[in-house]
A and B are shown apart, each in its own frame.
Chain A
Amino acid sequence: MIATRDAYGEALAELGGENDKIVVLDADLSGSTKTGVFAKKFPNRFFNMGIAEANMVGTAAGLAAVGKVPFLSTFAIFAAGRGWEQIRQSVAYPKANVKIVATHGGVTVGEDGGSHQSVEDVAIMRAIPNMTVIVPADGEETKGAIRAVAAYKGPVYVRLGRNKVPSVFPAGHKFEIGKGVVVVPGTDLTFITTGLMTAAAVTAAEKLKAEGISARVLHIGTIKPLDKELVLQAAQETGAIVTAEEHSVVGGLGGAVAEYLGEACPTLMKRVGVYDRFGTSGKSDELLKYFGLNAETLIEEAREIVSRKK
């Protein structure tokens, strides 16, 4: 169990040694986002921009325009939120090679409360043309994703979390942008999940097996571009889809899957996520339960959707 932000800090510092074009920007949260690890190793290539996120985004776009590979980090609410239009105009529109790695996404931010819990960032990033949106499931996938993102040319938004999460992928897991992974095979329904909900889906699938329900788990690490092939296959082969994400059901993974399948292959569907409301203060694990972001909810939804199939 490690936090995806810790894996990021490690991977970024490692990549810094391999590619001297990589520069890193932060907005007074380098201890929390873990860019501090890079800063310590490569102080000349680290820019603390202060509490000024919009300026940080624009500066990163400028650095990219002169050939650098900028990674910028802050909490998801400020990265995607405060800098949205700068991201759209200065980064995505020119297709600038800027990597936005946002930590503290979702409700597991915990006690800081609704003001700090970003449940909309994936939606607003996904809506921007040219943008790639990645939400890793665990530390291993994060390391692979950061490596892939550094090699890819173009704007990327990576969303990471605050807390330690269970491992889903083995050490050395290779991340391919745009490719989903079937983590558990199954035939009665498919959980299409991202971020920390993939581990929950694996647990749910194991428990459902005992009831005679065969649940597939399709992990979507890249929400945009969506792996349409694996999503379509899941719809056609299992006939029932339950999506799950630590994000609003509006516009995130559930939205992306619904948009696609609604046109390509209308299928029974249920979206698990935050139902169009703000977060609130509480301990992370309490909040996951409060918002129904756990294996228990997935099991209930699986039973329900399988019964509707008949």
Chain B
Amino acid sequence: MKEKIADLEEKARRLRVAIVKTLHKSQSGHTGGSLSAIDMVCALYFHKMRHNPAEPAWDGRDRFVLSKGHAAPALYVTLAECGYFPAEDLMMLRRLGSHLQGHPDSKGTPGVDVCTGSLGQGLSMANGMALGLKLDGKENRVYAVLGDGELQEGQIWEAAMAAAHYKSDNLCALIDSNGLQIDGDVSKVMNVSSISDKFKAFGWNAIEIDGHDMGQIVAALDQAEAHKGAPTAIVAKTVKGKGVHLFENKASYHGVTPNDEELPEALRCLGCCD
């Protein structure tokens, strides 16, 4: 297990490098929220989820919904690392004609099941998938990654209510609780705390973890799978921009990409020399 965790940590480091390089190339996209979510996305794709990159539409796959769609780079580098499409495609992020759209687009990108980008809609789609999979008697699970600012959308709580009502225990929401949104601190813009108390009040199983501690992420995902009768919310305390001190905990880095001066330092922070 210890080895497995170390493996995942190394994978996450490499994915962070890919995020930084991809966003430096595109010069457009969301750095902070991609870096805060990547440890969870990494654990899902390289530890928890059943999926088959050679057959993206494989019937036996678990489903993933990046509800905070602006963190698309985190998803894209992970899908590329898995082998869903060539890593070269990353260099075309957000370009005219590229399948790697600014926000996830299921019409063009192998491995992407739903379109997201308009915040607040992903949890409803994830619960719909969970309900449908259960109807078909399938064991597959559905994972959704949400932002903490995103929780301000009322639709999230409509979905939370419905998922608990229908006992969607095959659904797991991971909340990237980095404390920031575009206009500043989530607590100052529109307070959403306590996140875990809210989910509990809606009938969910809630687990609080450090969203950058791979051991805790893996343990929480296993607990979520074992919990029956209710969906699970993993409330992960994270740092926006995690891994590169230039970007860490800065609201101003939400939608800003690494420039030429920042790139070497960012890569150095991530233990990358090339």
Smallest beta-carbon distance B253→chain A, Å:
13
Which has the most chain B C-beta neighbours within 10 Å: A113, A283, A286?
A113
Interface 0/1 of B97-138, CB less than 8 Å to A? 110111101000000000111111000000000000000000
Q: Are A113 and B94 interface neighbours, CB within 8 A?
A: yes
Q: Are B96 and A28 interface neighbours, CB within 8 A?
A: no
Q: Are B96 and A283 interface neighbours, CB within 8 A?
A: yes
Q: Are A286 and B189 interface neighbours, CB within 8 A?
A: no
Q: Are B102 and A281 interface neighbours, CB within 8 A?
A: yes
On chain B, the residues within 8 Å of A280 by CB distance are 96, 101
Q: Are B189 and A48 interface neighbours, CB within 8 A?
A: yes
Q: Does A78 contact B (CB under 8 A)?
A: yes
Whether A48 touches B96, Cβ cut-off 8 Å, given contacts A116-B117, A281-B102, is no
Residues of A within 8 A of B (CB): 26, 28-32, 36, 48-52, 54-55, 77-78, 81-82, 110-116, 280-283, 286-287, 290
Q: Which of A29, A31, A32, A115 contacts B102 (CB 8 A)?
A: A115
Q: Are B119 and A54 interface neighbours, CB within 8 A?
A: no
Q: Does B201 contact A (CB under 8 A)?
A: no
On chain A, the residues within 8 Å of B97 by CB distance are 282
Whether A51 touches B153, Cβ cut-off 8 Å, given contacts A30-B183, A77-B118, A290-B96, is yes
Q: Can you list 25 A-B pairs with a CB-CB distance of less than 8 A? A: A26-B183, A28-B149, A28-B182, A28-B189, A29-B182, A31-B183, A50-B181, A51-B119, A51-B150, A52-B152, A55-B154, A81-B118, A113-B117, A114-B105, A115-B102, A115-B115, A115-B118, A116-B103, A116-B118, A280-B96, A280-B101, A281-B94, A281-B96, A281-B98, A281-B101
Q: Does B33 contact A (CB under 8 A)?
A: no
Whether A112 touches B102, Cβ cut-off 8 Å, given contacts A28-B183, A51-B120, A55-B154, is yes
On chain B, the residues within 8 Å of A48 by CB distance are 183, 189-190
Chain B residues with a Cβ closer than 8 Å to the other chain, count: 31
| B26-40, CB < 8 A from A | 26, 28-29
Smallest beta-carbon distance B66→chain A, Å:
12
Q: Which of B28, B115, B119, B181 contacts A111 (CB 8 A)?
A: B28
Residue of B with least CB distance to A49 = B190
Smallest beta-carbon distance B176→chain A, Å:
14
Total number of A-B contacts with CB less than 8 angstroms? 91
Q: Does B50 contact A (CB under 8 A)?
A: no
On chain B, the residues within 8 Å of A113 by CB distance are 94, 101-103, 105, 117
On chain A, the residues within 8 Å of B101 by CB distance are 113-115, 280-281
On chain A, the residues within 8 Å of B182 by CB distance are 28-29, 31-32
Residue of A with least CB distance to B101 = A113
Q: Does B258 contact A (CB under 8 A)?
A: no
Q: Are B189 and A111 interface neighbours, CB within 8 A?
A: no
Smallest beta-carbon distance B65→chain A, Å:
14
Q: Are A51 and B26 interface neighbours, CB within 8 A?
A: no
Q: Are B116 and A115 interface neighbours, CB within 8 A?
A: yes
Residue of B with least CB distance to A82 = B118
Q: Are A287 and B150 interface neighbours, CB within 8 A?
A: no
Q: Does B203 contact A (CB under 8 A)?
A: no
Cα distance, A131 to B101, chains bound together (Å): 34
Smallest beta-carbon distance A146→chain B, Å:
22
Residue of A with least CB distance to B116 = A115
Q: Are A115 and B117 interface neighbours, CB within 8 A?
A: yes
On chain A, the residues within 8 Å of B183 by CB distance are 26, 28-31, 36, 48
Q: Which of A29, A55, A116, A281 contacts B95 (CB 8 A)?
A: A281
Cα distance, A196 to B117, chains bound together (Å): 26
On chain A, the residues within 8 Å of B94 by CB distance are 111, 113, 281-282
Smallest beta-carbon distance B199→chain A, Å:
18
Cα distance, A50 to B183, chains bound together (Å): 9
